[in-house]
Chains A and B, each alone.
Chain A
């Protein structure tokens, strides 16, 4: 494609079995006053590791 670059496809997980509730409550991660949910990790996938691989 010349005009559009796909960065990510279908990222909202609606698979059956999702919603297990084992993930961290967003307020416990850092904010305490400003809820963000999109930056939380799925407990089953653990994709959002916060540290750089090699420093």
Chain B
């Protein structure tokens, strides 16, 4: 399968099975699109070119086919069987939150349960569970999430120390991450993050008015000024260690490219803005009819992105960072996020869920880290979700970049973990196209990330 497309006023071809990428001219796009079918050279785009030019382009296509980097046949896939290995946990250390964001999938952090904090006993049992279930995996990940993890920092600190105490004896390397709204972020927290956190994700939605409209405090006040001040203090101390400013765009700010740029204008250089995921009936939900406008936004952002990356406003946009020259192996691309299988979430009660978005859903309780129960029925089911089994993904040109998408979105909005959530499919495809175009242009401009 070959996907050709136009992006940023250029033409590109992606050979899906090999992952090879080409910048092509319009003539070649036409020839690739019609490859294997009789083409009338006197009509359409082809009529603008001489016979010699058409033959020349055809010769180049044949050369790449002979090199096995164009029209590469579909590979035989062998997705890994369920092995019962867990390498990554999301600890919902607090079911409380300092904010009440209007679009929160967790109902203001509570996940429709009691506003409990996780106690140390549960958090330690979760670490024990992870170590025991991780087999020979060395790198283990723990994300402190919520609700708002800053509301339970004592347990976060103790859990990090507890896990670190096993690194040497058990041959493990813990990578801690934390996802926070930064509203109550102190200098002490920042220093702790910079010492212990492999990645820190701070939530800001972009422009002040956009953020304040949907991210109110629990008492209904605006939160932007406090959060931005805290995040800038964090950024100043973070150096070159991984972090993201992560925002959400909704139906109220479909011109989200302006929010990304507003975050960059504040001085942030690692930015991710994601489409909101809500039922179609919600006033903030992204609808199918919004997709053309939103895809145009990604292209607008891509143009400005390229320009800013030549200046002192250089920044990364998470979804444009696709590594065209490498990236993850085929196995990872087949199995995707690993939710319900290698990646699980733990609630304050100790309940184990397929991922953070399933917290509080009684039908998705896998077990409990306190009583040691673990029913592998759901993990086996989630492990069987991959590019070969998720409906329609096998025939999609973007399959090796999105890997079937978010399992929770499939369940929440399609009622079936094997059904892709098609609204995000279209946005994903546009982001991949932009990423390829950006890579190609920057390759010529010699603006690279550090390799």
In the assembled complex, which residues on chain A have CB atoms less than 8 Å from the CB atom of B343?
25, 27-28
State whether A11 and B449 are in contact (beta carbons under 8 Å apart), knowing that A38-B322, A51-B240 are contacts in the complex.
no
In the assembled complex, which residues on chain B have CB atoms less than 8 Å from the CB atom of A15?
329
Residue pair B336, A14 in contact (C-beta under 8 Å): no
Residue of A with least CB distance to B22: A4
Residue pair B18, A41 in contact (C-beta under 8 Å): no
State whether A36 and B323 are in contact (beta carbons under 8 Å apart), knowing that A4-B61, A19-B80, A27-B355 are contacts in the complex.
no
Q: Is B246 an interface residue (CB 8 A)?
A: yes
Q: Which of B256-264, B293-301, B398-406 contacts A (4 or more CB under 8 A)?
A: B398-406
In the assembled complex, which residues on chain A have CB atoms less than 8 Å from the CB atom of B277?
33-34
Which of A18, A38, A40 has a CB less than 8 Å from the CB of B432? A38
Chain B interface residue count: which class?
Answer: 35 or more
Residue pair A7, B329 in contact (C-beta under 8 Å): no
State whether A42 and B327 are in contact (beta carbons under 8 Å apart), knowing that A12-B400, A21-B137, A30-B318 are contacts in the complex.
yes
Within 8 A of B (CB), among A31-55: 31-43, 45, 47-53, 55
Residue pair B240, A48 in contact (C-beta under 8 Å): no
In the assembled complex, which residues on chain A have CB atoms less than 8 Å from the CB atom of B143?
28
Which of A1, A3, A4, A7 has a CB less than 8 Å from the CB of B440? A7
Interface of B is mostly: mixed
Residue pair B355, A41 in contact (C-beta under 8 Å): no
State whether A45 and B326 are in contact (beta carbons under 8 Å apart), knowing that A3-B56, A24-B175, A25-B343 are contacts in the complex.
yes
Residue pair B325, A52 in contact (C-beta under 8 Å): no
Residue pair A50, B270 in contact (C-beta under 8 Å): yes
Residue pair A41, B323 in contact (C-beta under 8 Å): yes
Which of A1, A21, A39, A51 has a CB less than 8 Å from the CB of B327? A39
Residue pair A10, B19 in contact (C-beta under 8 Å): yes
Total inter-chain residue pairs, C-beta < 8 Å: 256
How many Å lie between the Cα of A9 and that of B63 in the bound state? 14
Residue pair A8, B21 in contact (C-beta under 8 Å): yes
Q: Is B20 an interface residue (CB 8 A)?
A: yes
In the assembled complex, which residues on chain A have CB atoms less than 8 Å from the CB atom of B406?
27, 31, 33-35
Report the minimum CB–CB distance from B20 to chain A (whole Å).
5
In the assembled complex, which residues on chain A have CB atoms less than 8 Å from the CB atom of B443?
7
Residue pair B424, A30 in contact (C-beta under 8 Å): no
State whether A3 and B333 are in contact (beta carbons under 8 Å apart), knowing that A11-B326, A38-B323 are contacts in the complex.
no
Residue pair A11, B179 in contact (C-beta under 8 Å): no
Which of A4, A25, A51, A55 has a CB less than 8 Å from the CB of B342? A25
In the assembled complex, which residues on chain A have CB atoms less than 8 Å from the CB atom of B336?
26, 35, 37
In the assembled complex, which residues on chain A have CB atoms less than 8 Å from the CB atom of B333?
12, 37-38
Q: Which of B24-32, B218-226, B367-375 contacts A (4 or more CB under 8 A)?
A: B24-32
Report the minimum CB–CB distance from A41 to chain B (whole Å).
7
In the assembled complex, which residues on chain B have CB atoms less than 8 Å from the CB atom of A12?
17-19, 75, 330, 333, 400
Residue pair A7, B324 in contact (C-beta under 8 Å): yes
Residue pair B327, A41 in contact (C-beta under 8 Å): yes
In the assembled complex, which residues on chain B have CB atoms less than 8 Å from the CB atom of A24?
88, 139, 141, 175
How many Å lie between the Cα of A41 and that of B327 in the bound state? 5
Report the minimum CB–CB distance from B180 to chain A (whole Å).
12
Report the minimum CB–CB distance from A43 to chain B (whole Å).
7
- Interface centre among A2, A35, A52, A53, by most chain B C-beta atoms within 10 angstroms, is A35
Which of A2, A6, A19, A51 has a CB less than 8 Å from the CB of B330? A19
- Interface centre among A3, A26, A33, by most chain B C-beta atoms within 10 angstroms, is A3
Residue pair B325, A35 in contact (C-beta under 8 Å): no
Which of B199, B274, B324, B331 has a CB less than 8 Å from the CB of A8? B324
B: which residues have CB within 8 A of A? 12-13, 17-25, 27-28, 53, 56-57, 60-61, 63-64, 68-69, 75, 80, 85, 87-88, 90, 105, 137-139, 141, 143, 145, 175, 177, 179, 199, 201, 240, 242, 244, 246, 248, 269-270, 272, 274-277, 309, 312, 314, 316, 318-319, 321-333, 336-339, 342-343, 355-357, 400-409, 424, 428, 431-432, 435-436, 439-440, 443, 448-451
Closest 8 CB pairs of A and B: A19-B331, A38-B401, A11-B19, A18-B329, A37-B403, A12-B19, A25-B88, A30-B244
Taking A27-B406, A38-B403 as given, write out 18 further A-B residue pairs in contact, using a Cβ cutoff of 8 Å, ordered by the A residue number.
Answer: A2-B57, A4-B57, A6-B64, A24-B88, A25-B88, A27-B355, A28-B90, A30-B199, A30-B272, A33-B276, A37-B328, A38-B322, A38-B323, A39-B327, A42-B332, A47-B326, A50-B270, A55-B314
